[in-house]
Amino acid sequence: MSVSLPTFFHAELNVADALLELSPQESQHAAKARRLRAGSQVRVLNGRGLIADAQIITVERSKVTLKIVSAQEFEPPRYRLCVATAVPKGDRQKVMLDMMCQLGVTQILPLECEHSVTHFSRNMYDKWLRATIEACKQSQNPWLPEILPAQSSVSLTPSESHSLFYADGDGQLLMDAVDASCEEMTIVIGPEGGFSAPELAHFQTAGMQSIRLGDHILRTEAASIAAVSQWGQIRMKFEC
């Protein structure tokens, strides 16, 4: 499945499907934006590890029907990363989500911090979901990251099976902080105003380790992207 094809999302795609009807939104994208016609080759993913190659059978205004040609199931990732991040302002949210999805983040947790300026909302959840779906379609990532309910920074605690790290300019490098046993981990990214003293005290009391993501002060979205990128390189080394 290395050939790049127009790719669409269908949450109910099943390995046994022979025919599939795209949602009205995806159908309009195929017919109007991409101007695809009957006979066009496309790809469909369900965000749960299944990607199918298909051929368009019929094209109507808001209904595109596909014939499934072949399907491939992908194993869930062994190493899983949750990024708990303060919410950036405006369009920087979409940039952050797009890059993290391309790099393979598995969960995204909107973080409420003492210095947060932008707060997560239900309306924002719908936008984040659309952004992650579009990013997975573009990159053909078979696993749609889960967007978790917003949580306070001082409610985070590590467990025996789940490691937590928080971004701090004085921390150690991520590659020095993790080993192959860290299969489930969360990296916590603060707002541009930084974590407050009580938040840092909570992290330290909870036993969370600090990590350094770069040599300079990073904006929230840049720190989140850097975290996933560095984790991805470490993960590939462990999986070899």
* Residue range 61-77, pLDDT digits in tens: 789 999 999 999 999 99
Co-location of 34 and 99 in the same domain: no
Co-location of 96 and 66 in the same domain: no
Co-location of 162 and 114 in the same domain: yes
Structural domain boundaries, residue 156: 80-239
Co-location of 25 and 88 in the same domain: no
Co-location of 173 and 158 in the same domain: yes
* CATH number of 159's domain: 3.40.1280.10
The answer on pLDDT for 145 being more than 60 is yes
Does some domain include residue 63? yes
CA distances from 234 to 80, 136, 175, 181, 228 (A): 12, 21, 7, 12, 10
The answer on pLDDT for 2 being more than 60 is no
Co-location of 94 and 64 in the same domain: no
Give the integer Cα–Cα distance in Å for 20 and 143.
Answer: 20
Co-location of 186 and 225 in the same domain: yes
Which of 73, 94, 127 is where one domain is finished?
Answer: 73
Query: For residue 104, what is the DSSP state?
Result: T
Does some domain include residue 2? no
Q: How many domains does the chain have?
A: 2
Does some domain include residue 219? yes
Which structure tokens are listed for 92?
Answer: 């920087």
Co-location of 104 and 59 in the same domain: no
Does some domain include residue 1? no
Co-location of 154 and 129 in the same domain: yes
Q: Which region, left, alpha or beta, applies to residue 90 given φ > 0 means left and ψ of -120 to 50 means alpha?
A: left
Co-location of 106 and 160 in the same domain: yes
The answer on pLDDT for 60 being more than 60 is yes
**What is the crossing angle of helices 122-139 and 92-103, to 10°?**
40
* Residue range 7-36, pLDDT digits in tens: 999 999 999 999 999 999 999 999 999 999
Q: What pLDDT was estimated at residue 122?
A: 86
Which of 73, 103, 130 is where one domain is finished?
Answer: 73
Q: What pLDDT was estimated at residue 3?
A: 65
Give the integer Cα–Cα distance in Å for 210 and 208.
Answer: 7
Which structure tokens are listed for 89?
Answer: 């302002």
Which of 73, 90, 118 is where one domain is finished?
Answer: 73
